[in-house]
Amino acid sequence: MKTLLLSIVLLSGFTQFASAQCRPFVKNNCKDALSGYIPNENFNAAKLMPGDIAEAQMTFYAGTDYRLLVCTQFMLGQASFQVTDLDGNEIYNNTNDHSDHFDFRVSGTQELIINLQIPAQKDVQINPQGCVAILVGIKVEAN
């Protein structure tokens, strides 16, 4: 039981450590892509490796213009991402335009799922690990 508890404590500490390592990357490399948008308070980032898949579920509110940005460290390549509703209906997929962001407005408040995949790398001895962030901004209204 002590081993299980220690493993849980170490794992939660590692997750916080990985998140802390990603904050400077996001601050220095991703915020310009959100110009004209106010970032929300949530920090959704993780250390991932080539071939990894991640998913996040987020709430979006009716009548608000959003920018959803997927920002990855250079050594990982550009992540492909898909936005779906809770029923799995695709709303957006960046595989056609290879964009790192999606600008949209929802007609009603809803939960959306963001699925992303880091491209696999072939013929490498060691796969790099890097930060991947999902950022959401709310459009600044012009006065």
User: Tokens 């590692």 sit at which residue?
Assistant: 14
pTM: 0.80
Q: Tell me how many domains the chain contains.
A: 1
pLDDT by residue for the chain (143 residues), tens only, comes to 444 443 344 344 334 445 578 999 999 999 889 999 999 988 899 999 999 999 999 999 999 999 999 999 998 989 999 999 999 999 999 998 999 999 999 989 999 999 999 999 877 777 789 999 999 999 987 65
Gap between the Cα atoms of 66 and 111, Å rounded: 14
Return the structure tokens found at 56: 């996040």
| 121: CATH | 2.60.120.380
Q: 75 is in which domain, residue-wise?
A: 2-139
User: Tokens 């009716």 sit at which residue?
Assistant: 62
